[in-house]
A and B are shown apart, each in its own frame.
Chain A
Amino acid sequence: MKFGIVTFPGSNCDHDCYSVTRDVLGAEAEYLWYKERDLKGSDCIILPGGFSYGDYLRCGAIAKFAPIMTEVIAFAEKGGPVVGICNGFQILVESGLLPGALIKNKNVKFICKNVRLRVETATRFTSGYTAGQVITVPIAHGEGAYFADTETIEKLENEGCVVFRYCSVDGRVVDEANPNGSINNIAGIRNSAGNVLGMMPHPERCSEEVLGNADGAILFRSIMENIGPS
C-alpha cells in the first residue's frame, strides 16, 4: 500500500513520516506537494506535523485552503483514510473533517515531552493495540488543547470517537496526566465514519527500537494491515 505524505510550507515532520512508513515498515510512500492537486494513487493520506504557513492567524487556518486539501477533503469524504498528526490534526479540525478545535495549551507553554496515552478504541488505525493499552508517545505543541462544545463532546464520547486520552503510567485518566488542558484528556479522535484520525502526539517519532520506543510503529502497521496492499 502507499502512503501519501503532504508537505505544506512549514511542515517539518513529513520526512519522519516518510522514513517510518517507507524505510522502517517497508510501505510505499510519496510526498504530496501542497500546490499540487494529485494524490498520486495514495491509499492513505498523512497530514504531518510542523508549522504550516508559520501558524499565522491560527494553526492550520491557512493550510486548509491549500490546493492539495481540496483533493484530501474529497478523498476523505469518499471514505479514504486520512491521518493528521499534530499540525495535521489542527488542519483537520480547521477544514471541518474533524469536529472541535485545538487551542493554546493551558499553561501557555510549548510542551515537548513523552506522555502516556490510553488507547480507547480499536479503529482501522489502532487495531494493533488493545483497548485500554497504555503507550508512550511524545508531544510537541503549543496549541494542543482539544476543545469542542458540550454537545459535540457528548457525541464523540457516545459514538466512541475518542481514540487516545492522556493518562497516568497506570492508565488512569486524571487531571495530573493532562498536559495541555484538553477536554476529557482527549489526545486523538476519529470521525463518525471512522476513516479520519487526528492526534496531537507524534507516533512517527517513536517508531524504531533504536530510538528507545517503537509504540508508534503499531499505528502505521495497523493502517498497513487494514488497508492492505493495492
Chain B
Amino acid sequence: MYRAKVVVTLKKSVMDPQGATIRSALESLGYSGVDNVRMGKFLEIDIAETTRDKAEKKLDDMCGRLLSNPVIENYTFEMEELK
C-alpha cells in the first residue's frame, strides 16, 4: 500500500482571484510583505499496489485524466509506502 500526496496548482498564466482575495485578507489582518498568494488543491490518496513503480504509474494516469486539468493546472506528487 502506498500513500500519495498530490498537489495541484494553477499555471502561472491563469488568473487566481481566490489567491488574490486571500492575499488582501492577510494584508487587512496586518501581515505586511505578502506579495503573492496562489491557491491550489491537495489530495491524499491511498493506492493498493505491490510496487512503487506501479503505484506511481497509476497515480500519474489519474492526475492527467481527472485530478488535474492540463489546460489550466500542473501537478506534483510524493509517495510513501505504508507499512
Q: Which residue of B lies closest to A180 (CB)?
A: B17
Q: Indicate with 1 or 0, residue by residue over B8-24, a CB within 8 angstroms of chain A CB atoms.
A: 00100111111001000
Binds A, one of B28-36, B64-72, B74-82: B64-72
The one of B18, B66, B67, B72 that contacts A147, using a Cβ cutoff of 8 Å: B72
Q: Which of A81-123 contact B (CB under 8 A)?
A: 93-94, 99-101, 103-108
Q: What CA separation (Å) do A209 and B15 show in the bound complex?
A: 39
> Given contacts A61-B66, A149-B13, is CB(A103)–CB(B72) below 8 Å?
yes
A108 near B17 (CB under 8 angstroms)?
yes
Interface bracket on B: 10 to 19
CB contact under 8 A between A108 and B15, given known A93-B71, A101-B69: no
A145 to chain B: which residues have CB within 8 Å? 15
Is residue A57 within 8 Å, beta carbon to beta carbon, of the partner chain? Answer: yes
Chain A residue with the shortest CB-CB distance to B20 = A108
B71 to chain A, nearest CB (A): 4
Least CB distance, B17 to chain A, in whole angstroms: 5
Are B69 and A65 touching (Cβ within 8 A)? no
State whether A107 and B72 are in contact (beta carbons under 8 Å apart), knowing that A57-B66, A65-B66 are contacts in the complex.
no
Chain A interface size range: 20 to 34
* Chain A, range 44-75, C-beta contacts under 8 Å to B: 57-58, 61-62, 65
- A57–B68 alpha-carbon span in the complex (Å): 9
A100–B71 CB distance below 8 A: yes
Task: Please report the C-alpha to C-alpha distance between residue A145 and residue B10 in the assembled complex, in whole angstroms.
Answer: 14
Assembled-state Cα–Cα distance A105/B17 (Å): 7
A148 at the interface (CB under 8 A from B): yes
Distance (whole angstroms) from the CB of B38 to the closest CB of chain A: 13
- Is B15's CB under 8 angstroms from A106's CB? yes
Decide: A101 and B17 in contact? CB cutoff 8 A.
no
Complex formed: what's the CA distance from A194 to B18 in Å? 34
Q: Are B17 and A57 neighbours in the complex by a CB distance under 8 Å?
A: no
A162-184 near B? 1/0 per residue, CB < 8 Å: 00000000000000000001000
Contacts of A181 in B (CB 8 A): 15, 17
Show 27 residue pairs from A and B whose CB-CB distance is below 8 angstroms, ordered by the A residue: A57-B66, A58-B69, A61-B69, A62-B66, A94-B69, A99-B71, A100-B71, A101-B69, A101-B72, A103-B10, A103-B14, A103-B15, A103-B72, A104-B17, A104-B18, A106-B15, A106-B17, A107-B17, A108-B17, A108-B18, A108-B21, A145-B15, A147-B14, A147-B15, A147-B72, A148-B71, A149-B13
